[in-house]
Amino acid sequence: MHTVVLGTTGTSPADVIAVARENARVELSAEAVTALAKAREIVDALAAKPEPVYGVSTGFGALASRHISQELRAQLQRNIVRSHAAGMGPHVEREVVRALMFLRLKTVCSGHTGVRPEVAQTMADLLNAGITPVVHEYGSLGCSGDLAPLSHCALALMGEGDAYGPDGEIRPAGELLAAHGITPVELREKEGLALLNGTDGMLGMLLMAIDDLQKLYKSADITAALSLEALLGTDKVLAPELHAIRPHPGQGAAAANMLAVLEGSGLTGHHQDDAPRVQDAYSVRCAPQVAGAGRDTLAHAALVASRELASAVDNPVVLPDGRVESNGNFHGAPVAYVLDFLAIAAADLASITERRTDRLLDKNRSHGLPPFLADDAGVDSGLMIAQYTQAALVSDMKRLAVPASADSIPSSAMQEDHVSMGWSAARKLRTAVGSLARVIAIELYASTRAIELRTGLTPAPASSAAIAAARAAGVAGPGPDRFLSPDLAAAETFVRDGELLAAVEKVTGPLA
């Protein structure tokens, strides 16, 4: 099993994905343990002084003005975790919770939080044991970070609350810890606060969305190329010299991908045959421009994510010179903005994808294809309702594209009077990414059927490979009406799991 070793300087997106989705083991480096111990010495020294220090010997948020006596500080740290574990609603997905826990541990290991090495080790032990705290959908405003979700994770470290075991069953966290030989932590000064103050949930979901979208954008280039073929369009609009004079990198990459898929096609270039047209419709001709803009948005989001991965987000933080200073680094605005931006880009990609599907099904615009790609139109409805499903998904994605980060609601007696709503932005982006995979899958289903109905014309080798792989994966081809939902589910799996991309890249080589 792959092992991720955490140092003091952050981690990589690949490591986050490995821990969250592939159950990679987590270890603390000697460097991290040393940094943890040094920072803890600073906190212990401040805790022994009579002067109040926020997070060490005071209350929190709007209650920060109260000085807490030494005998009550352990109770204070327990209480902040218990009181802040106030989430409600459906349980958050396991991979999200694992990313959340791992990213909080990443920041703890930076040596800027004052958490003891044994607490950090217990966090790693929970991940390695496959224990996943129950985290609820609602509770985070994205400032101070993802408080409620992180509190549910910290609660499990204390042996309280509920968690999923490695078998997927929910049990009391204390029982699961005992079953794996893990001793619950007794939190000391600052530790409860340090386990809650971070953008880890929204960042984890951003990293996983980027990972998914990088594959989906390549898949969308493939299905756009398949639709261009099926519509007997021209690939001349994909020429590199046309995209060089508008040098957006994502646009050039999308056009190059489509051109690679279409190489050797016998279907392209027939736009002047039976039904002459000077130009293809925007949804075909402008596919690289729209997909390319989304790619550039994705690159910006990856840059923001890399900066956040390199950050130590906590309040207060322990500085190398021994100061413990309050700050606002927990505010999720940088992450929230790009989460919303990606939802907008995904919605627009889905929108142009649906327009190509609709064109394939309309006998007045499909250049010789049967109505709805039906076997016996009238007796058969073909893919009529598949397009309804696609349209419903696209409309939902447009609603999800309304930015959460433009909203704010004051909390904590107006102490936290401006919040990022980054968690909400991340949650709706996850839904949008899932919907985008389905929208692309429906275009795949329609375009491959349409190509097979173009008898007498030979598709590109990459297109043929995609069609053959889809059929082998249970994505049915042309024929009389059948129970369509299982076919669409097979197409979704084929796209989401990267099988479409793998089949095409065997012919084209790696796509951009």
> Catalytic residues, which ones?
54
**Residue 179: alpha-carbon gap to chain centroid:** 32
Our CA angle for 476, 478, 482, nearest 5°, is 65
Whole-Å CA distances, 237 to 258, 277, 312, 459, 480:
10, 14, 47, 18, 35
Position 334, amino acid: P
Label residue 379 exposed, middle or buried (CB < 10 Å: 0-12, 13-18, 19+).
Answer: exposed
Angle at 136 between CA 131 and CA 138, to 5 degrees: 155
Cα 207 to Cα 12, 199, 211, distances in angstroms: 10, 12, 6
- Nearest to residue 177, comparing CAs of 155, 151, 196? 155
DSSP H or E run through 325: strand 324-325
111, β-bridge pairs = none
* Burial of 279 from C-beta contacts in 10 A (0-12 / 13-18 / 19+): exposed
How far, in Å, CA of 242 to CA of 257, rounded? 14
Q: Is 367 left (phi over 0), alpha (psi -120 to 50) or beta?
A: left
The strand pair at 132-133 and 317-318 is best described as unpaired
Give the three-class secondary structure for 137: strand
Chain center to CA of 139: 19
Helix (H, G, I), strand (E, B) or coil at 171: strand
Task: Quote the tokens at residue 141.
Answer: 């405003």
Cβ atoms 231, 367 nearer than 8 A: yes
Angle formed at CA 78 by CA 74 and CA 83, multiple of 5 degrees: 145
* Greatest Cα pair distance in the chain: 89
Helix axes 287-309, 13-22, angle to 10 degrees: 90
Helix H or strand E segment including 91: strand 88-91
**Measured between alpha carbons, how far is 294 from 254 in angstroms, rounded to an integer?**
10
Dist CA 94 CA 134 (whole Å)? 9
- Alpha helices (H) in 195-330, listed in sequence order: 200-230, 240-244, 249-262, 282-285, 287-309
